[in-house]
Amino acid sequence: MPLSEKILIVDDERFIRMALGEALRSWGYETFEAENVAEAKKAFDDLEPAIALLDIDLPDGSGLDVLSDIKEKRPNTIAVMITANVDVPNVITALRSGAHDFIGKPVKMEELRVTLRNALETKELRREVKQARIERSRGFSFSEIIGESAALKKSIDLAQRVAVSDIPTILLHGETGTGKDLFAKAIHYASERANAPYLAINCAALPATLIESELFGYEKGAFTDAKQRKEGLFEQAQGGTIFLDEIGEMELALQAKLLRVLEEGVFRRVGGLRDIPLHATIVAASNKDLKKASEEGGFRLDLYFRLSVIQIDIPPLRERGDDVLLLAQHYIERANQKRRGVKLRGLSPEVARMFRGYRWAGNVRELRNVIERASILEDGEMVTTAHLPADLTVGGLKTTDGNSVAFALPPDGIPLETVEVELAKQAMVRTGGNLTKAAKLLDISRDQLRYKLKKSGDYESTAAEESA
């Protein structure tokens, strides 16, 4: 029992207050007294006790008034009613207003002691459950999804609306690393199902028979290894969410079984004869275009239609404009927590430009990895091109005729001259300021390169050490 919890004793009879106070103090509580409604309300405001013992018949009103006042101000307060005339309407009113328990007069001390101990335990448990819930959902809410672009906002907006609806199936579609997992969890934790289980299964990672028994469960003896009956995810997730990741990889035979579950709202354990109703929301995810896959025969068209009633398309990172910079900054700050020495401040302008134009085939995951790597290798305060993977600086993109290029045209275009100057400068940096070598890299003459650099006003600084 937590010691020295504050208890407010509200009773008009001095003798009762004294007797209760003495007992309570001997059990380790800190006690305070009030003898009428007015005093009780004031004492409650001043002292904020964890527990209130409330007599109902008070000289200036009813203990039930004190109760509703208390519950309104601090709902977690434990209120125990103590009264000589336990009549039913009072009991109902008190319990409705949130009283924890009723104790008749004369008070049996042992009863009071147990009541208080249970009440405090319940309170502590509630607090723990609440805390656990907060911890579990931390990192899974929509507010953790970074991005301001219209494209992303559109997906978030739809997902938020779907989360609070009772739509039974949702399809998330997006390239690898776009945040399908993140969205699925955010939807679950924003829904009424947040306190029920969120269970995920990857349809690409396991053989079909295993996925089937994982999802549907099985009866004892359904197959050789079925020594015990086993509940599947459909059963375990009752009231919650099942995340079917990479649904596009599910075998056709199993797709048919899944379709039946979605259409009829019931399922059977493998080897079972009884239909069990499904009360879980199915969130399926795919990086494939399922419509195309079903036209080509790799996915059931009817299942696609069933799943895609609500389809949320998560845009690739390259279509999210400056979100790439926001995300980069987010991962920089995260990397800083682990980084020794100087903290990273941000991206060099050159890197920022590259990031905006890069293809990001691995989307946010790729970006995260790039920043993590740079934060380890980089000595300075900025992420520079020096520690970016070659993929990003060269050959990250294919030109229209299939060759590798370092640049992609940014969404809102870029002056060609800026590109030239940028590459000229990079060539100078890479060759340590050697004009001849730099010109060679660019397949132009020294004079041409010198001219370009001069025009940009950067010749003195970048070519200062040139000796050739």
Query: Phi then psi for 101, rounded to 5 degrees?
Result: -160, 170
User: Contact at 8 Å (CB) between 147 and 327?
Assistant: yes
Which residue stretches of 287-377 are H helix?
A: 290-295, 301-307, 323-338, 349-357, 363-377
Q: How far is the CB of 204 from Mg ion (least distance, A)?
A: 10
Part in contact with ligand ATP (CB under 6 A); list of ranges 16-24, 51-59, 180-188, 338-346:
180-188
288 near Mg ion, rule: CB under 5 A: no
φ/ψ bin of 53: left (φ > 0), alpha (ψ from -120 to 50), beta (otherwise): beta
Q: How far is the CB of 181 from Mg ion (least distance, A)?
A: 4
- DSSP classification of residue 270: B
Q: How far is the CB of 205 from ligand ATP (least distance, A)?
A: 11
Q: How far is the CB of 421 from ligand ATP (least distance, A)?
A: 33
Part in contact with ligand ATP (CB under 6 A); list of ranges 50-58, 73-81, 361-369, 432-440:
361-369
178 near ligand ATP, rule: CB under 6 A: yes
Q: How many whole angstroms separate alpha carbon 80 and alpha carbon 117?
A: 12
Q: How far is the CB of 281 from ligand ATP (least distance, A)?
A: 18
Which residue stretches of 138-197 are H helix?
A: 150-163, 180-190
* Complete DSSP assignment for 167-181: -SEEEEE--TTSSHH
Among 39, 69, 181, 458, interactor with ligand ATP by CB under 6 A: 181
Q: How many whole angstroms separate alpha carbon 241 and alpha carbon 198?
A: 5
364 near ligand ATP, rule: CB under 6 A: yes
* Neighbour tally for 180: CB within 10 Å: 23
315 near ligand ATP, rule: CB under 6 A: no
**Relative orientation angle of helices 349-357 and 416-430, to the nearest 10 degrees:** 120
**CB nearer to Mg ion: pick between 289 and 322:** 289
334 near ligand ATP, rule: CB under 6 A: no
Q: How far is the CB of 314 from ligand ATP (least distance, A)?
A: 7
Please name the amino acid found at residue 291: K
Q: Which does 176 bind (CB under 5 to 8 A by kind): Mg ion, ligand ATP, none?
A: ligand ATP
For residue 225, give both structure tokens.
């290894």
Q: Which does 145 bind (CB under 5 to 8 A by kind): ligand ATP, Mg ion, none?
A: ligand ATP
b/e sequence 379-399, b meaning 16+ C-beta within 10 Å: eeebbbbebbeebbbeebbee
182 near ligand ATP, rule: CB under 6 A: yes
Tokens 């207003």: give the residue. 97
Size of interface with ligand ATP, in residues (CB under 6 A): 15
Q: Write the burial class of residue 129 (CB in 10 Å: 0-12 exposed, 13-18 middle, 19+ buried).
A: exposed
Query: How many CA within 13 A on the CB side of residue 191?
Result: 26
Contacts (CB under 6 A) with ligand ATP, residues 133-162:
145-147
414 near ligand ATP, rule: CB under 6 A: no
316 near ligand ATP, rule: CB under 6 A: no
Q: Which residue is nearest to ligand ATP (CB)?
A: 179
181 near Mg ion, rule: CB under 5 A: yes
**CB nearer to ligand ATP: pick between 323 and 350:** 323
Part in contact with Mg ion (CB under 5 A); list of ranges 178-186, 213-221, 263-271, 424-432:
178-186
Contacts (CB under 6 A) with ligand ATP, residues 281-300:
287
**Which residues contact Mg ion (rule: CB under 5 A)?**
180-181
**Which residues contact ligand ATP (rule: CB under 6 A)?**
145-147, 174, 176-182, 287, 364-365, 368
